[in-house]
Amino acid sequence: MKNRSFRSPDKALGILLDQNIPYPVKVWLCRGKSGWDVFHVKDIGLEGKSDSVLFQWAQKNEALIVTYDEDFADSRFYPLGSHHGVIRLKNWPTTIDKTIHALTRLFESTPESDLQKSLVIVDNQKIRIRKI
């Protein structure tokens, strides 16, 4: 892992998309959220790396992790206050359209400030936010 930060200092929010998030979601996010730094693990050489490596990268680069991986929502491993934010998607099926729909619901109903340093769980019916 390189020592330099990937984040642009003028961007409001950093997002790291886990490998289980379809790559076209990154393209959609970059178009719709041009004020954010959006990274997919494929772009930064982290595809296939462990959760702990992704977590370390996200913390170093002050990025929220967007994932379908339930481990990131486990407070025994990633307690609130130890990260810049986790968005755990639980919608089904995990298609590109359903993923974009879930994130659209979240971003239209939740201020950026509520995402930071929080655990956000998005399923087909509701959005839950756990803060410190």
Q: Look up tokens 């790396």; give the residue.
A: 49
Whole-number average pLDDT of the chain: 93
What whole-number distance in Å separates Cα of residue 118 and Cα of residue 109? 15
Mean of pLDDT values over 57-71: 97
Q: 10 Å Cβ neighbour count for 55?
A: 19
| β 127-130/63-67 pair status | unpaired
Whether the predicted pLDDT of 5 surpasses 70? no
- pLDDT value at residue 1: 42
Yes or no: is domain 13-130 CATH 3.40.50?
yes
The pTM (predicted TM-score) of the whole model is 0.92
Per-residue pLDDT reduced to its tens digit, 95-110 = 999 999 999 999 999 9
Whether the predicted pLDDT of 4 surpasses 90? no
In our burial notation (b when 16+ CB lie closer than 10 A, e otherwise), range 81-117 reads eebbbbbbbbbeeeeeeebbebbeebbeebeeeebeb
Per-residue pLDDT reduced to its tens digit, 17-33 = 999 999 999 999 999 99
25 vs 132, more confident: 25
- pLDDT value at residue 12: 82
